[in-house]
Amino acid sequence: MTMKSADTAARLCSACLPALAARGITVPTHARSGAPGVVHLGLGAFHRAHQALVFDALLQGGDARWGVLGVAMRSAALADSLQAQDGLYAVQVASSAGSQWQVGGAIWQTAVAAREPAQVVQAIAAPSTRWLTLTVTEKGYGPELGQLIAQGLAARQTAGLPGLTIASCDNLVGNGRQLQALCMTAAKALNPALADWVAGRCAFPNSMVDRIVPAATPQRLAAAREALVVADEAALGTEAFWEWVIERRFADAADGAVLAAAGVTVVDDVVPFEDAKLRLLNGSHTAMACMGAVAGWPVIGECITKPAVRGFIHGLMTQEVGPQLARPDWSAYRDALLARFANPALQHSVHQIATDSSQKIPQRWPPSVLGALRAGLPVERLAFAAAAWMRYLRGTDEQGQAYAIVDPLGGELQALALAHAGDAAASVQALGTLTAIWGEVLPRDQRWLALVTRNLDEINRLGLLGALAKLQAELDSQQGILRNL
């Protein structure tokens, strides 16, 4: 869908930009009428607050190759809102020093894959397209995605066009390799010659992206209207921190230097950065989300203000997860995370973070548990996090307020949690032995299962904060014994 300017300044649009600039809001000044060079699949808040702003900076610098065609995979609401706003949207960037608004201008066109798949295929095959980026979430990497991409690549091959850099920006271990395998399978099914062309012409770099971007809320939209004096149905908020680490693997080798000049970290090996982000940020986020949902704390910023929770998260990262990591500055990254979690402007919902937990936990917790067990490190806090997740799955907090379990396996998991709600051992036997979540090893590790069972029993008996206090007292006692040896 080509953008159409709104007829009135009551809605954010291109005609509004001079007035916004006069109000001190950063706005795009580059031309926005060319053919996009990037097709992005997964037009959610994260992309618009992260990669799209990087591309916007490149466009502002005069490189017109980075305009984006943003593709919503299923829901048309956001794509249509952006179309009505000429692809523009406001981002409130909040730091400890305050917040500022900027208008993102990298999205030049939108489409909806479920509604107009042929247009998406044509966009992938367009001569101007150089990059295909993705934020479709962990659960989005199925055959349908591979088929869509393969059809676009087949059209490129037929037209004699160059290959693409195809970059997954989702929280998956080896995300580039996983995406490559998915696309190669789909390409082979279409034509073995296409698979050879993809293997030889396209690049699938691993990447790690980091920025906390809460889902948009009515409060955020109201704040945007107050700041902009026009309505913005696509406004969102984020933090000042951002990081994008990408493997030096591009269809056009010159792109590495271009991205680096915009602040992207280009490396030969993403794994140390990916590992630290998945285990420290995402792993801690999921733990706090489950605890907050159970205790009735609605946002991460409230969770981390609880001394018991802050101490728990610091200990989790410092004693159980961090020592396993190859990222050289992991302790500084930990300290930055604690400050980022406490940002009061983000209002990051615990239920948003807990969404799709069955798809997220396999990358976030089991690798740390297994690594700690191999290295002789403690795993008590990881076991508490697992127990909190099992308590979370019951769908009611400790005040009796119900909440939805939004997860592809939600119905099955909640049924298991409720069936064994009064029996910690039975709960762990039912939920802690699911190999799709915990892998093949942990469901057979009796020490691990016993630790999870004990923590879940104490959450059941003492409540979340009471169980957390008991765990901390036990850990403090163990440290005291070790110091006296």
Examine residue 66 and state whether it is found in any structural domain, yes or no.
Answer: yes
Same domain flag for 337 and 233 = no
Give me the pLDDT at residue 96, please: 78
Examine residue 8 and state whether it is found in any structural domain, yes or no.
Answer: no
**Computed from CA positions of residues 153, 195, 161, 52, in that sequence, does the dihedral angle turn out positive or negative?**
positive
Residue after which a domain boundary falls, among 206, 233, 267: 267
Residue 163: pLDDT above 60? yes
- How does the average pLDDT of the chain come out, rounded? 96
Q: Look up residue 242 and give its two tokens.
A: 């951002």
Give me the pLDDT at residue 196, please: 98
Same domain flag for 175 and 317 = no
| CATH code, domain carrying 310 | 1.10.1040.10
Compute the distance between CA of residue 357 and CA of residue 80 in angstroms, rounded to an integer: 29
Examine residue 202 and state whether it is found in any structural domain, yes or no.
Answer: yes
Examine residue 5 and state whether it is found in any structural domain, yes or no.
Answer: no
Same domain flag for 137 and 48 = yes
Structural domain including 96 reads 14-267
Give tens-digit pLDDT for 342-379. 999 999 999 999 999 999 999 999 999 999 999 999 99
Give me the pLDDT at residue 70, please: 98
Same domain flag for 161 and 209 = yes
Question: For residue 482, what pLDDT band results from cuts at 50, 70 and 90?
Answer: low
Same domain flag for 380 and 294 = yes
Classify residue 2 as exposed, middle or buried by CB count within 10 Å of its CB (0-12, 13-18, 19+): exposed
Same domain flag for 246 and 315 = no
Give me the pLDDT at residue 479, please: 75
Same domain flag for 381 and 475 = yes
Give me the pLDDT at residue 183, please: 99
Give tens-digit pLDDT for 35-94. 999 999 999 999 999 999 999 999 999 999 999 999 999 999 999 999 999 999 999 999
Same domain flag for 190 and 99 = yes
Residue after which a domain boundary falls, among 267, 302, 322: 267
Give tens-digit pLDDT for 253-307. 999 999 999 999 999 999 999 999 999 999 999 999 999 999 999 999 999 999 9
Give me the pLDDT at residue 483, please: 56
Q: Which of 200, 106, 184 is nearest to 145 (CA)?
A: 184
Compute the distance between CA of residue 200 and CA of residue 299 in angstroms, rounded to an integer: 46
Compute the distance between CA of residue 141 and CA of residue 181 in angstroms, rounded to an integer: 10
Report the percent of the chain where pLDDT is more than 90.
94
Give me the pLDDT at residue 84, please: 96
Give tens-digit pLDDT for 423-468. 999 999 999 999 999 999 999 999 999 999 999 999 999 999 999 9
Between β-strands 68-72 and 207-210, what pairing exists: parallel, antiparallel or unpaired? unpaired
Examine residue 6 and state whether it is found in any structural domain, yes or no.
Answer: no
Same domain flag for 200 and 79 = yes
Compute the distance between CA of residue 305 and CA of residue 227 in angstroms, rounded to an integer: 29
C-alpha 321: how far from its chain's center? 20
Residue after which a domain boundary falls, among 246, 267, 288: 267
Q: Which of 118, 133, 124, 120 is nearest to 44 (CA)?
A: 133
Same domain flag for 191 and 282 = no
| Structural domains counted in the chain | 2
Compute the distance between CA of residue 268 and CA of residue 466 in angstroms, rounded to an integer: 46
pTM of the model: 0.92
Question: For residue 485, what pLDDT band results from cuts at 50, 70 and 90?
Answer: very low
Same domain flag for 399 and 259 = no
Q: Average pLDDT, stretch 157-181?
A: 98
DSSP conformational letter for 215: P
